[in-house]
Amino acid sequence: MSKIAFIFPGQGAQYCGMGQDFYEQTRIGKETYDMASDLLGFSLPELCFEKNDRLDITEYTQAAMVTTSIAMMRVLEAEKGIRPQVSAGLSLGEYCALAASGVMSDRDAIRTVRQRGILMQEAVPAGIGAMAAVLALDACKIEEVLSSMEGVQIANYNCPGQIVISGKKEAVEAANEKLLAAGAKRVLMLNVSGPFHSSMLTGAGERLGEVLKGVEIQTPQIPYVANVTARYVRDREMVKPLLKEQVYSSVRWQQSVETMVADGVDTFVEIGPGKTLAGFIKKITKDARVFNIEKLEDMEAYFS
């Protein structure tokens, strides 16, 4: 049976002007941004649409990305009647998937990622941690190299040929040399503000767990795929523990896509800035259709 999945990008896809046409030309888009502004106490349109030095700072990026993707999703649902059978998001994007699945309200998703961003930003002093993308080396080989090292681990299984590692700066740099020697085509240090999805953020995950105690969680109306397990979540009791663990655990995106494909998903609708996930999916499976919604005109092009 054919199934549609809504998928949502994570941190790093943001850019100035993202979602501006949804805000200026649709009632639901405007209401979503204005709701987030009232909720957080600063202007989301100003943050997202005007040049500033905050959009790329984690504590602001996360709220901006989630607000933008949720606004786009709600407009798509209302104007085109498109509904998914499953949802998933890469790292931060998992909170949009929670909103899509009815697990968390839009307000709670935005409010929670604001706190998540602050906790992750403050977790590790600048310059102590690092991340790097490893290109064209099998995941099992990377796991083998890292198994003999301390202070570095796999952060993201993005797609075949692209794995991200994370941890202490010196350990990541040492791993880079070993991975190149093991056959990696390239290893690129990433311009990020912290060693995300590594054990260095365990404290941030624990503190997020405290934040989540005050968040209302509903039973999923449709299943979503958790980053930590790459499996469907249908039980609301699983949501908070997985979100806490997600902060310091590997993001199993490739495995998540494989789970959805095995379940009959043949159409992926990427909602949010950029086309990062579409690129990953095309490397994971050749058979799926992938649509990108980041401009109003995309909705008309794909779903008119």
Gap between the Cα atoms of 75 and 26, Å rounded: 7
Gap between the Cα atoms of 164 and 252, Å rounded: 11
| 43 catalytic per annotation | no
Gap between the Cα atoms of 55 and 64, Å rounded: 7
Q: Which of 197, 198, 249, 250 is catalytic?
A: 197
Gap between the Cα atoms of 138 and 224, Å rounded: 27
Gap between the Cα atoms of 240 and 213, Å rounded: 8
| 199 catalytic per annotation | no
Gap between the Cα atoms of 261 and 279, Å rounded: 16
Q: Give Cα 61 to chain centroid, integer Å.
A: 12
Gap between the Cα atoms of 145 and 134, Å rounded: 12
Q: Which of 69, 87, 91, 101 is catalytic?
A: 91
Q: Are strands 265-271 and 289-293 parallel, antiparallel or unpaired?
A: parallel
**Active site members:** 91, 197
